[in-house]
Amino acid sequence: MAEVLVYVDHVDGAVRRPTLELLTLARRIGEPVAVALGSNAEKTASTLAGHGALRVLTHEASEYADYLVVPKVDALQAAVEAVSPAAVLIPSSAEGKEIAARLALRIGSGIITDAVDVEAGDEGPVATQSVFAASFTTTSRVSKGTPVITVKPNSAAVEAAPAVGAVEALNVSFSDQTTGTKVTSRTPRESTGRPELTEAAIVVSGGRGVNGVENFAIIEALADSLGAAVGASRAAVDAGWYPHTNQVGQTGKSVSPQLYIASGISGAIQHRAGMQTSKTIVAINKDAEAPIFELADYGVVGDLFDVVPALTEEVKTRKG
């Protein structure tokens, strides 16, 4: 059976969830071979083995942290040459897409970004994408070279699938371009204790109607009662009420949780683009004509300052 390369997104050896979802998809196409790079890469092996990785190729070097994107492209290119895989799967983060693009160009392949599903096909893997603010669904195939596909978070279930997970050292020689862009400093994002926005099963978002930075506390309180991540519309972020890293929409994060609760968000196309594929959508808005209600499985026309705290209390009561 052909091998499928999976690029491992990890922080100091802790594998991030989208990589485990990729292993689920990789097993549909072939035998997963993981590539883990940088500090504590070997520590990822046991988790990866538990989710189906037959082999884990690792390489530790300071270049991965000190220079942008290109060192990782060099390593993946080396892995492609060593393994001759049937496909390369990479998490669809901003960095993941840049790595994928440069890799595809170097190995003469096509690239598909932001897939929401990947299936085996007669002529190679078939990727499903959601386009035009999720108003269309397309299926595509890479028709030249080894398919390079980036996959969005929440596109597949994480499945336990014990495999060997043999750790092997990957030989990497860095290219002339490797040291072009220096990372002069890095500040890790402070943990809020809440789930990661793109990975959360439930997202509670606030928009223009929240009307002030101090009022986001009621959005956060609802999120915490549900164990949810907090999102914000572009209007709320532009007003400075919530950080850009929490922005949901075209120029922010694209989320696809089981439940999305939009409070005080009208539902402009730019916002819908980032949340339209959520399984269940709930909307709270004063304006009965707000377009968000067209998407909502359940909507409440009312003042969010009444409805949201009441909902939070009710959730707490029911959860005991």
Partner 1 sequence: MKYVPDATGDRHFADDLTVDRDDVDGLLSELDEYAVEQALQISENTGDDVEITALTIGPENAKDALRKALSMGADKAVHVEDDDLHGTDAIGTSLVLAKAIEKAGYDLVVSGMASTDGTMGVVPALVAERLGVPQVTLLSEVSVEDGTVKGRRDGDTATEYLEAQLPAIVSVTDQSGEARYPSFKGIMAAKKKPVISWDLSDLDIDAKEIGLEQAHTSVESAAQRPARATGTVVKDEGEGGKQLAEFLASQKFI
Residues 240-269 that bind partner 1 (CB under 8 A): 244-245, 250-251, 258-259, 269
Torsional sign, CA 73, 76, 82, 87: negative
Cα 44 to the center of its chain, rounded Å: 18
Choice between 52 and 257, CB closer to partner 1? 257
Q: Binding of partner 1 at residue 219 (CB under 8 A)?
A: no
Provide the token pair at 173: 């020689």
Q: Binding of partner 1 at residue 84 (CB under 8 A)?
A: no
Exactly one of 109, 154, 155, 205 binds partner 1 (CB under 8 A); that residue is 109
Binders of partner 1 among 12-41, rule CB under 8 A? none
Q: Binding of partner 1 at residue 187 (CB under 8 A)?
A: yes
Contact 274, 253 (CB under 8 A): yes
Exactly one of 31, 40, 60, 106 binds partner 1 (CB under 8 A); that residue is 106
Torsion of CA 110, 114, 120, 123, to 10 degrees: -30
Provide the token pair at 181: 């862009």
Cα 6 to the center of its chain, rounded Å: 15
Q: Binding of partner 1 at residue 62 (CB under 8 A)?
A: no
Binders of partner 1 among 277-296, rule CB under 8 A? 280-282, 284, 288, 293-296
Residue 265 CB, shortest distance to partner 1, in Å, is 15
Distance CA(23)–CA(158), nearest Å, equals: 8
Q: Binding of partner 1 at residue 299 (CB under 8 A)?
A: yes
Binding-site string for partner 1 from residue 118 to residue 137, where x marks contact by CB under 8 A and - marks none? --------x---xxxxxxxx
Choice between 162 and 188, CB closer to partner 1? 188
Which residues, at least 6 apart from 236, have a Cβ–Cβ distance to it below 8 Å?
Answer: 206, 207, 208, 210, 216, 242
